[in-house]
Structure 1
């Protein structure tokens, strides 16, 4: 490969190093394909400390009154910040779109550490929530998690959660090239075919170098907050025409006198209410407790981590809002969405009160799940996830069907393996 002026030729350029980008890069590099990975973020060691999280977290505004979500700009993407909860792909839904993921899901079950947490890893807060919810008649149960319990010999361990960075590292070990600090300017198009990528490579805090790279195939895996704008700027028609959803919700906390809380895996248990309302364990780790309480001005809870107990509320909102010309998203909620938020909050407060919680507070409505609905399979991409521009494929959370609102990690790994097979057959 020529290094002249940073312009190189590859078999595949992967934009984004998260779940899909990392998986695709790994699958292709293992089969001796020349792969370039463009990652906007840096490549720091992943740690669950305040400083480490602040260095990679990027808050994205989605609407008025503080409505926002957070993504991670780093190698491995948002799996560096996620809770590692497993929601499975809806195989029948994908089949109606011409995509068969059954074999990929079966393979992933054998490859990744998937399963419910053993009882020994449930912390006192989680157990109190479970007892309270069940006493009130809710079907509170453990969820499958992407956690290697063998790495939790001393209890909760951040490193036990599967992360996409491991796939990127496998890709690099097999010859892939990773460019950190690379922000895509545009997809290079020749007629009706995508032929390359122009990107700005950050050389210092004050300057960047404009580069171009070329490939037979380009995979846009920049995430649901970045991919739609890149597609629209490239000329893909109809992106975001129906609005989007963001799964709004609350984080609600109270204080239980005498509770001796410890670190644990957030989101490891919960229940589904009617009308698309989900409740789950929201007991954050000690390292994040004080910053969160300071940020929300919850001073009474600030130094009370052992007694703090929390529930997350997430509701399935309808499509609405818009993607503005600058790519920023702005969401509005209708009365039906707000009614579901109110019902979810009321149920969460009842569970906390049943557990003995006092001084119950929330942090206002925020996005409690992924943003979606802007890009659609069989409308903006076909069954091989290819756009109207030949050679340009999309593989990230932006293309997941609307009904799939849960944590998308397993579905995305399946989709990435599926696309990898199609790419290999075409190269």
Structure 2
């Protein structure tokens, strides 16, 4: 756990919320998202920084009829003394170009908020059917309004310890795999990650240019099998496409500490369709068909564990007055796209509601 959470390790990708959030659940955060994009200067990287190999993959996809576009980013190369972005972005930004939520924390502190680190919250405090604070290791904090934002795994665990039995029942993960192949030219590993992408909402998946960092690649491939680890010396020639699947709600975060996210038959069918598209694109981009393989599955966005419409009303409030949730756990379905911009939009909307409630 660290200040700023997953934004320290994300690839700096920004995506507006899916249309169904407004159409099915009446959650309209378009204004908040637009405001955030202007405030943080969210936009695609300049053309000359999107990577030659990544652009080659995107152009191959476009030639096959897939509408790949430059991916908007929480990045400003001008902030870096020397812009030096690659797959290593997932291990933390060394050059300083990437925005993280730590900047919001700094702003809150400057405005008078008290930031308490090394404080573990175990449960919420409820008195007289109203939330009055939180309790944790060696501390207790009382407040008229509590907003839990411990993430898709941490938030349901706090609620479970506080008597909310529905928390953690079912989850989504935006189940992710990489489809890899090797060509003769330099690959995408030393290029900024996810500079190009395409969301296929009709079939429920997102594709983007991405490769595991050099140090992580052998660890991930070992899970696939020893022969795949032997491809590590060819990492510099690696072409990769990430599949992010809109997976079904299943499994959950359980009070005994277990986390389970079974892959449903529907999920498997979606992955198979997406993998075939990726293979087609990679070959068109210059990958040797005989080198193509699919990485082991991973869960990149644990979410949907305290769902809007199930445990939360449209204001993200629980059944207990004064207790709100605002993180990826509130998603009613898998987002199937980068989550951070949607969470910021929800947070701004919630902040406005809380201020309105306090002043009424």
TM bucket, shorter chain: 0.7 to 0.9
TM-score norm. by structure 2 comes to 0.86
Give 1:50-61 correspondences, 5 Å limit.
none
Any conservation in 2 of the 1:321–1:329 contact (CA below 8 Å)?
Answer: yes
Q: Match for residue 177 of structure 2?
A: 250
Q: Is the 8 A contact 1:301 1:308 kept in 2?
A: no
1:65-84 equivalences under 5 Å are 73-84=1-12
Change (3 A) 1:123 1:178: same
**Is the 1:236–1:380 contact (alpha carbons within 8 Å) kept by the matching residues of 2?**
no
Task: Trace 1:20-59 onto structure 2 (pairs within 5 A).
Answer: none
Contact 1:255 1:307 in 2 (8 A): yes
Q: Which runs of 5+ in 1 are unaligned?
A: 1-72, 201-209
Q: Counterparts of 1:204-215 in structure 2 under 5 Å? A: 210-215=138-143
Query: In structure 1, which of residues 171, 184, 190 is the aligned counterpart of residue 108 of structure 2?
Result: 171
Instruction: Name the SS for the 2:347 alignment partner.
Output: helix
Looking at structure 1, the residues matched to 23 and 38 of structure 2 have their Cα atoms a distance apart, in angstroms, of 22
User: Following TM superposition, by how much is the alpha carbon of 1:113 offset from its aligned partner in structure 2, in angstroms?
Assistant: 1.7
Alpha-carbon separation, structure 2, partners of 1:77 and 1:229: 17
The answer to whether residue 162 in structure 2 is matched with residue 234 in structure 1 is yes
Tell me by how many angstroms 1:191 deviates: 2.3
What number of residue pairs does the alignment pair up?
341
Corresponding residue for 2:89? none
Give the alignment partner of residue 365 of structure 1, picking from 297, 300, 304. 297
Q: Find the residue that maps to 2:142 and give its secondary structure.
A: strand
Runs of 5+ unmatched residues, structure 2: 86-92, 223-227
Give the structure 2 partner of residue 37 of structure 1. none
Give the deviation of 1:95 after TM superposition: 7.3
C-alpha separation in 1, matches of 2:277 and 2:81: 35
Q: Matches of 1:332 and 1:96 in 2, distance apart?
A: 25
Establish whether residue 425 from structure 1 lines up as the match of residue 356 from structure 2.
yes
Structure 2 residue aligned with 1:396: 327
Deviations 1:104-142 (A, max 9, x none): 223213211211222111112202211322233322221
In the TM superposition, 1:297-316 aligns within 5 A as 297=222, 298-316=228-246
Change (3 A) 1:422 1:118: same
Deviations 1:321-374 (A, max 9, x none): 23323243212222221122122222212222222223333321222x422332
CA distance in 2, matches of 1:169, 1:349: 44
Give yes or no for the alignment of 1:293 onto 2:225.
Answer: no
CA RMSD, 1 decimal:
2.4
Contact 1:370–1:405 (8 Å) recurs in 2: no
Distance in 2 of aligned mates of 1:223 and 1:79: 12
2:141 pairs with 1:141: no
> Deviation of residue 388 (structure 1)?
1.7
Within the alignment, does 1:188 sit opposite 2:120 as a pair?
no
Structure 2 equivalent of residue 337 of structure 1: 267
User: Is structure 2 residue 202 aligned with structure 1 residue 271?
Assistant: no
Deviations 1:39-89 (A, max 9, x none): xxxxxxxxxxxxxxxxxxxxxxxxxxxxxxxxxx21100000111212212
Task: Quote the offset at 1:182 in angstroms.
Answer: 1.7
| 2:160–2:255 contact (8 Å) kept in structure 1 | no
| Among 42, 45, 63, the residue aligned to 1:117 | 45
C-alpha spacing 1:197/1:260, structure 2 compared with 1 (3 Å): closer
Equivalents in 1 of 2:215, 2:286: separation in Å? 22
Q: Which of 311, 318, 329 in structure 1 is aligned with 2:248?
A: 318
How many Å apart are 1:155 and its aligned residue? 4.2
Return closer, same or farther for 1:100/1:134 CA change in 2, 3 Å cut-off.
closer
Identify the range of structure 1 (388-397 vs 301-310) with the bigger mean alpha-carbon deviation: 301-310
Conserved? CA contact 2:173–2:334, under 8 Å: no
**Is 1:105 matched up with 2:33?**
yes
Higher strand share: 1
Contact conserved, 1:314 with 1:344, CA < 8 A, in 2?
A: no
Q: 1:96 to 1:349 in 2, by over 3 A?
A: closer
CA offset at residue 153 of structure 1? 7.0
The separation in 1 between residues aligned to 2:264 and 2:21, in whole angstroms, is: 27
Q: 1 CA distance for matches of 2:171 and 2:102?
A: 28
Q: Under a length normalisation based on structure 1, what TM-score does the superposition of the two structures give?
A: 0.73
